[in-house]
A and B are shown apart, each in its own frame.
Chain A
Amino acid sequence: MLNIRGRTFSRLVLILLAGLLYMNTVQAEDKKIIYGVFWTGCENVCQALQDYIKKENLNAELIIRDVGRDKSKLPGFVKEARALKADVVVTWGTTTTLGITGTLDDVKNDRYLNDIPVVFTLVSDPVRSKIIKAYDKTGRANITGTRNRVPEDLNITIIRKIKPNFKRLGILYNQSEKNSILKVNEIKALQQKLGFELIALELDKDDEGNPLAVAIPLRVSELKQQNVDFIYLGSSVFLEDNMGLFTSSAVKEGIPILSPYETLVRNAQAYMSVAAREYDVGLLAGEQISKILVDGIKPGDLSVRSVDQYAYVINMNTAKKLKLFPPVAIMQIAEIVE
């Protein structure tokens, strides 16, 4: 009797073990690969993505690749993503995204990813950059993304609220960043409609054509000489990388900076930003990835989603230095940082 019972028990244990082994194998087989290509390592977007995967218990692994501000690395990342059979690729910024996905003209070009789903983030103007056709329908089967910038006329409106007699807007741009040039063109187009003059200065370059950080104070000074009332960051990873020098130069010249990136206000001396948190962008990218991996929706069928929470952030130290204080009405809604 005992013998029979012992045998039955052994069989049951074996069956259970086999089942667990099978499930483990299936899980291991099903674990998705998210291949993240970030301009400066795992910053806010990347961290938010990691948190999202953890919080939502996604059966996925985030492989982080750092461009290290060197866009020549990008073709290598394309190859690696293919080799790893990544289920989805996340990109950070316009330059990175262009290097990974190419433009609408590159849909049949093997140098770019047209076969693996891509979710782009922090691309200032994906339509003008020709990464996608439109926000609601990207026009590319494997690409969707996120938006995190307010319309540029809103930035001009808020400048005017702070400086009612605002006339001249200064901008520094990086010729080697497509997004930077596109942004200058976009703002130029608003001049007549919104009644201001744009003074756009190109950043100085070294012999290899790379922008020179040391020349930033000179160009800011030049903007001052041209009587600009406000400087707008526009879109430039280079300036973002050199935020300390850029913003302190502006404060020194007595010019406030309006930034589309909150970090320049919180971590440097930009006067104000109207922006979403990059962390929120990462969470939104996580939602887009989840729709692709879990719900099985094709990226081309997903519209580019916008972050739904923006904030007016004012650096009060900068305001005090510039003796430029926001109006009472703006103070009611602004987030203040010292």
Chain B
Amino acid sequence: MYLLWRSWGAFVALLTTVLAVLAILSVLQHNSVLSDLTRQRLSVIAQSVEGSFSTVADLGLPLSMMRNANDVLDRAKALDQDLEAIHVFNASGIMVHTTDETQPASLSAENLKIQNLSNSGRWNSETDDHFYSYVSILNPEKQAIGGTVAIYSKQEFNTTVNDVTTRVLIATLSLLCLFSVVGLIVFRIRLSQAIKGSGMLKTWFEQKPQNSETSSYEKYDPKFIQLRDQLNSADENYHQIDEQLKRWEDPQPQEIHGQENQGKVKDIKTAPRIVMSPMTDTVLGRTYGRKLLPWVIGMILCATLSLGLITYSSINNSFEPEMAKRTNLIAQVATENIQRGVSAGIPLEYMVGLDGYFDNVLSNFPEISFFGVATGKFIFQAGDWQYSLLSTFRDKKNVPIYPIISNEEEIGYIIIRPDLTYIAKQFREVVLDLAVVVLVVLLLAYEIMIIVMTMSLTSPLNRLNHLSRLQADGDFSSGIIPRRGNLTEYLITRLSKRVHLLHNRYLSLLSSVEKQASNNLLKNKLIAFAEKYNLNSRGARTLTYPYINDIRLSLFLFAAADELALSFFPIFTRAAENPLTWIDPAIVISLPIAGYLIAYMAASPFSRTLTGCWGHKNLILGALVFVFLSNFGMFFATNVLEIIFWRSLGGAGYALAVLACQDYVIDFEPKEQRTKSLGIFSTALFGGIFSGTALGGVIADRFGTSTAFMFSAFLVLLSAALLSRMIPKGLSVSTEQEIPLKLKSIFSTLKNPKFFAVCMGLAVPQSLMDQVFISYLFSLQLDALNASAADIGRMLMVYFLMIMLSGSLLGLLTKLKIGESSIAVVGSLITAVGLLAAAALPAQWTMLLAAASTGFGHGLLRGPQVELTMKLAEGELKHLGSNSVLGALRLFERGGSIVGLLVIAAIAGYWGLSAAIGAIGLLILGGLVVFVLYYLGANLIELLNKRKMTSGSET
């Protein structure tokens, strides 16, 4: 039953983690949406005050000189009872009018700075108790001469948040209990064979291994019987060796059966020899992995989606009333402004300036599509009346009506129409944001699940199977570092101990025989015996199983940590103190990113050499120290220079960590699985990037940008802790002597046509696409096509998702025996087609298509281009060493993207963004031609030469 409890325990731990993460993120997402909606509502009041003071500004009077300002503020404050205060401040931030004299006499320096940086002239903030909505007041020259701030109590918001948090918490606990029970039942059923099988192993173990009878176990899973038979054979082999050694050890025979009494044997100290063995995916592990994986995925998916739906319902409950409140408030403000004129004696028909007033309202509040002032018929209307089938008269239902009163009689009314398309779009955006959060959690769940399944189920079975098979085949050369655990681990420990015991006895015997010069015959027999059972005079080997799963969760986490700041980084830099006043602010904002890219490029060529020097584990951990320090430093950074320094440090660390992880895959995965593994690597990496990008905004919004950096630092620490636990000890790159990295060697690589083809035909154009199209042109072009920032963000996510998808497909493609070069050609082609389509037909949908196709193509290409390079490094370019070959690839692709950035930027400047996108598409096509001509051409020439040689030798 240990197998059931262990697997189920791991599942519950996974479920708890996933649901806890989703619950936290859901509540954060809900709070973010509700806070945003409340602040939007608050901004209606701030804007109404701004509207009044703009008139003062338009007329040229200083804001402070408006005598009846307090009447205006009092009228605005009366609009909402939760409104605590409204202030008007001048250009220096000094409060010139206020409804609450106890408030600070001036605006904070930080807010003045934000005002200067704000393009829209609207911004907001919040503290634990209050929301603040700010609007700048502009003079006719559009310069800010002050602003207005509305302060709103968070009491109602906090109550709603507490309700939702409680609801989500109860839902989370209920789902946890429900799916834990379901999981137990499913595991019990799906693992019934394995439970019986492990029970059989236990019985076998407890009844002493001499019992080699096999016929009585037919009711069990044949794979377990096979394992049991292997253990039996291993036992038999062990006893044979034991017996033989015992005979030679006479007159001091060792009683060794079962007790492993190594205490009586002289313990021979030998240097520990750690040997890497590929993680062989045995039938047993694979079978039970496959049996459980779909169910685990299904249950996690159900639990996640259920919680997602509950959050959706909470957001929906908050969204509709808030939007209605806001629309109502806008109408209330408009009605009150008109009512003021009417109350002063202006007949509705003579109301002047309504068109300008309503045009202003419509442009400030896009959720309103129509305003009408009617007295039975419209005397004024603005915007689009979207409901042609509906009557304009007030007796129709569902038409919001706001009466205008004169002398206690209703003389007319205002009709307001919400823009349903806009509101639906807003809601869709909210739902899409929530969907992204759910997707992030599912990605995280998948990564954790793979690790949990590996650690709890497949890895122990695989290791036991591997070791028992070796011993059953008479190979006692290797043991495994034991782990604490259950029967499987105990059996592994036992088999490993035997190996060490036998080696000790063999070495002890060999030593005593060697001392007796006359006993050469015995010595020869002993050596022949040892050779038969792979006993080594240097002592037993210890097998380690480096595997891609050792690094994938860590890779996911630190990639997420690195990208967490992506969404708010330019704003964070812009808000920091800027000592570089002599540089254009737009350039200053880009400097940390430039520093990051340069550091990334500078560090990339050395990653392989450093891996050779320090080992993968040490290099990754060392690099993560930089990434950690970068985020930690960013938490305290206050000026641009500090930000540039810390971001550049992070760039170097991130480059080394990512590339060392890639080298881990390259060095330790079996060559035949390398393309597939590089696909998994890409999936984990871009899964992390996707998750970090998606979550950064939510975390920064709820906790502030500084906290987001601290959270990143925590993720890096978590990643490092996992790595140090997961990566086996004693790994080394290769037993071969690595050739050190040389600058000359880097450039020599280009002489090889195949390397030239891979590098210049695939890697450089793809890097250019990634660094220039995705990071630079993509958002600019979509902005020019009137896409919102949120839409741009989501389209970028499509790019990352497609990389993950195609990265996962690589395994399937290699299984179908499709060569790397063919995959690379297809990948390049798909990328180029997407880019050319977006260039030829500039539209949002073609850009979405381009994001999908470039992502898909990029995901297909990443693995094969490294694999092709590695094949060259291990073949034709072996004399230069893999350090130089991989270093050259990384240097050229980064360098190429920087040069390309300048060229493409120039093209964009002269011929426009579409032309620049088209240029990248053509460059990729050109690269493809280079690749086909050089790489496949070189292969063809080789083939022809071989044929010539063969025919020559035949003749």
Contact = CB atoms under 8 A, between A and B. Distances in A.
A327 interface: yes
A134 B797 CA distance: 64
Nearest to A317: B345
Nearest to B49: A332
Contacts of B118: none
A329 B51 contact: yes
Interface in B50-73: 51-56, 58-61, 64-68, 72
A45 to B, nearest CB: 17
Given A157-B59, A157-B60, A331-B344, A308 B356 contact: no
B60 A151 contact: yes
B351 A328 contact: yes
B352 A326 contact: yes
Interface string A275-315: 01100000000000000000000000000000011111000
Contacts of B67: 276-277, 309-311, 335
Contacts, number: 88
Contacts of A335: 67-68
A308 B61 contact: no
A316 B350 CA distance: 13
A233 B344 CA distance: 25
B61 A310 contact: yes
Given A323-B350, A325-B350, A331 B59 contact: no
Given A150-B61, A329-B353, A311 B337 contact: no
B68 A328 contact: no
B338 interface: yes
B538 interface: no
B346 A325 contact: yes
Interface string A237-255: 0000000000000000000
B337 A328 contact: yes
Interface in B333-390: 337-338, 340-341, 344-346, 350-354, 356-357
A327 B67 CA distance: 19
Interface residues of B, number: 30
Given A327-B357, A328-B337, A333 B58 contact: no
A154 B59 contact: yes
Contact of B351 (A150, A309, A316, A325): A325
A320 interface: yes
B323 to A, nearest CB: 26
A316 B346 CA distance: 8
B656 to A, nearest CB: 61
Nearest to B69: A333
A65 B43 CA distance: 55
A150 B352 CA distance: 25
Nearest to A330: B55
B60 A327 contact: no
Contacts of A326: 346, 352
Contact of B60 (A153, A309, A330): A153
B187 to A, nearest CB: 69
A128 interface: no
B943 to A, nearest CB: 82
A229 to B, nearest CB: 15
B55 A333 contact: yes
Contacts of B53: 333
A35 to B, nearest CB: 30
Nearest to B55: A329
Contacts of B66: 309-311, 333
A201 interface: no
B756 to A, nearest CB: 69
Contacts of A323: 350
Nearest to A162: B352
A276 B51 CA distance: 23
Interface in A250-284: 274, 276-277
Contacts of B337: 328, 331-332
Contacts of B72: 332-333
A157 B344 CA distance: 23
B401 to A, nearest CB: 19
Contacts of A316: 344-346
A328 B341 contact: yes
B597 to A, nearest CB: 50
B64 A327 contact: no
B96 to A, nearest CB: 9
A11 interface: no
Contacts of B354: 328
B86 to A, nearest CB: 14
A333 B52 contact: yes
A334 B354 CA distance: 16
Contacts of B344: 316, 331, 336
Contacts of A308: 64-65
A274 B345 CA distance: 21
Given A311-B67, A323-B350, A328 B357 contact: yes
Contacts of B52: 329, 332-333
Contacts of A151: 60
Q: Which has the most chain B C-beta neighbours within 10 Å: A308, A327, A332?
A: A332
A334 B346 CA distance: 14
A97 to B, nearest CB: 24
B186 to A, nearest CB: 67
Contact of A157 (B54, B58, B340, B341): B58
A154 B60 CA distance: 6
Nearest to A325: B346
B860 to A, nearest CB: 60
B147 to A, nearest CB: 16
Contacts of A157: 58-60
A161 interface: yes
B423 to A, nearest CB: 26
Contacts of A310: 61, 65-67
Given A311-B66, A311-B68, A333-B52, A325 B59 contact: no
B356 A329 contact: yes
Nearest to B354: A328
Contact of B340 (A154, A274, A332): A332
Contacts of A338: 345
A75 to B, nearest CB: 37
Interface string B563-595: 000000000000000000000000000000000
Contacts of B340: 331-332
A134 B64 CA distance: 23
Contacts of B60: 150-151, 153-154, 157
Interface in A147-164: 150-151, 153-154, 157-158, 161
Contacts of A274: 59, 61
A238 B54 CA distance: 36
Given A311-B67, A335-B68, A329 B357 contact: yes
Contacts of B353: 327-330
B791 to A, nearest CB: 34
Contacts of B341: 325, 328, 331
B484 to A, nearest CB: 76
B65 A309 contact: yes
A41 B65 CA distance: 29
A325 B55 contact: no
A327 B355 CA distance: 10
Contacts of B54: 329
Nearest to B71: A335
A153 B68 CA distance: 22
Contacts of A158: 59
A275 to B, nearest CB: 10
Interface string A99-132: 0000000000000000000000000000000000
A276 B60 CA distance: 15
Given A276-B67, A327-B352, A335-B67, 6 more contacts: A157-B59, A309-B67, A326-B346, A329-B356, A331-B341, A336-B344
Nearest 3 pairs between A and B by C-beta? A327-B353, A311-B67, A309-B67
Interface of B: 51-56, 58-61, 64-68, 72, 337-338, 340-341, 344-346, 350-354, 356-357
5 contacts: A326-B352, A328-B353, A331-B337, A331-B344, A333-B72
